[in-house]
Amino acid sequence: MRLRVNPIDCVGHGVCAELLPELISLDEWGYPILPDQPVPQALGRKARRAVTDCPALALMLARP
Amino acid sequence: MTHLLPGSLPVAQPPTRPAPQLPRGGLPRLLPDQGIFPIDLRTHLARHGRLPYRGRRRELIAEVAAAGLTGRGGAAFPTHRKLAAVSEYRTPPVVMANGAEGEPASNKDKSLLWLSPHLVLDGLQLAAETVGSVTVGLYVHRNPRLHDWLRTAIAERAAAGIDAYPVDLVEAPPRFLAGEESALASRTSGGAALPRFKQPRASQRGVAGRPTLVQNVETLAHLAVIARYGAAWFRTVGTDGEPGSMLTTRYLADGRMDVLEVPLGVPLAALLGLPDADQPAQAVLVGGYHGAWVPAGAAQALPLANAALRPHGAAVGAGVVAVLPTDRCGLAESARVARYLALESAGQCGPCFNGLPRIAAALGELAGLRPRRDVVASLLRWAGMVEGRGACHHPDGTTRFVRSALQVFEAEITWHRHGRCTAGNGQPFLPLPGDPPLNDADWR
């Protein structure tokens, strides 16, 4: 699975980068920069948590 | 600048120099043979005959595939693939002709709708039959006179019993992004003409949630002539890889502008009158404001075809080609356009909303004298930060344009660093809307 963001819904809370700093960083305006690579198995749980905890419901896991 | 659009009641002026020689090859196909008088229904029927309905769904797809017709709205996507994809659904699709020409430098769709509306409307009917649609619309930028003209054309056809499917005329707001496919679908569904996050694409779920075929108006006009005269005829001009003709909006170094139908692959030198000793050129903008600058020396050796332009970072796009004369500052011109593009961001996506104004301001600083040392580095960092991060391609198109300006006008940046601009003429060259910036209400 791959992380994707709906850039219209995302308002830059930054919660995802706090929950999943291994994969997500923030740009200088506070919006998430997502990896191109699929989420490694070991981080699957944390990634799902970041998705469910996104206050804007903008983050998602999608098939590659 | 001479406007040859019937919309502005043009007065054709005699050219001051011989027109560039272009291969004729039976052109123009879509526009009137001569002059700028709109083709009414009677003239249209006398020239092209009745609409060649096929009587069955999907019948025309093979002919369009053989012709190699691609979208003339800018993306050059194979038209037959769109037709085939949308005709697969059990839900009857919506078919929309896209004539929302938001690009300020492009006038070819307006010209086509003024001069040959019936070819567009023919193509719309044929596309509807091909994909099994009964819901058909024509989406055109706000212009009361043009809308009146099109309404009259549609009514004439209804009275003559030509159209199998009634055509809805939908007004697009005068925004750069209003013609973006998902913005069109949103506007036609009764919402704002804002780009949407596309998942799934409009072809699958577009207008009112139904599968939607969106085709540029020029593409539909080509469809109408292909249905009549066939794929082999269509391919008698153009290149093997990029067959047929296309409408271009060209800006010459002396400031003249016109809309011209040319074979794909026409040499840019012939199209733009390069080189010209009286009006030396420094660069050519290819593909409009989401396109790219090409140095004049390179451009005059290139044809108007994607295969040759892509290695130079450019593409045919919607057919805007503009020669920048040597007396203008390429950085100043690019900065004006970048500022316009930043203001035309829908403001929906954080990176675009934040990045584009900063990119435009940085280019504005480079357009002035003695820019700070780190401006180029900042600009490139922001460009990398917005690319691929919008719901639509506005950030990507904007950075393509800006990056090409940094490359092509690199020497000018050095002059500016030393406190000198080589341009002798401060008059704006590339066209931009003169109106004050629009507000949020102007997306409908």
Q: What is the pLDDT of residues B228-279, one digit of tens each?
A: 999 999 999 999 999 999 999 999 999 999 999 999 999 999 999 999 988 8
Average pLDDT, chain B: 91
Q: Is the pLDDT of residue B200 over 80?
A: no
Cross-chain Cβ contact A8/B355 below 8 Å: no
Alpha-carbon torsion, ordered B299, B305, B308, B310, to 10 deg: 90
CATH topology of domain B23-234: Rossmann fold (3.40.50)
Residue ranges covered by each domain of chain B: 23-234, 249-325, 330-428
Tell me the one-letter amino acid at B208.
A
pLDDT number for residue B12: 36
Q: pLDDT tens across B135-166, in order? A: 999 999 999 999 999 999 999 999 999 999 99
B205 confidence band (pLDDT: 50, 70, 90): confident
Please give the CATH architecture assigned to the domain spanning B249-325: Roll (3.10)
pLDDT number for residue B204: 83
- The CATH classification number of B330-428 equals 1.20.1440.230
Residue ranges covered by each domain of chain A: 2-62
Q: pLDDT tens across B94-128, in order? A: 999 999 999 999 999 999 999 999 999 999 999 99
Q: Is the pLDDT of residue B309 over 60?
A: yes
HSE on the CB side for B194, CA within 13 Å? Answer: 16
pLDDT number for residue B37: 86
First CA to last CA distance, chain B: 30
Residues of A in contact with B355 (CB under 8 A): 29
CA distance B36 to chain A (A): 43
Residues of A in contact with B199 (CB under 8 A): 6
Say which residue, B7 or B301, is predicted with more confidence.
Answer: B301
Residues of B in contact with A63 (CB under 8 A): none
Complex ipTM tops 0.90: yes
Q: What angle do CA A6, B94, B149 make, to 5 degrees?
A: 110
* C-alpha span between B402 and B252 (Å, rounded): 21
> Strand B245-251 relative to strand B320-325: parallel, antiparallel, unpaired?
parallel
pLDDT number for residue A46: 97
- The answer regarding whether domain A2-62 maps to CATH 1.10.1200.10 reads no
Q: Is the pLDDT of residue A43 over 60?
A: yes
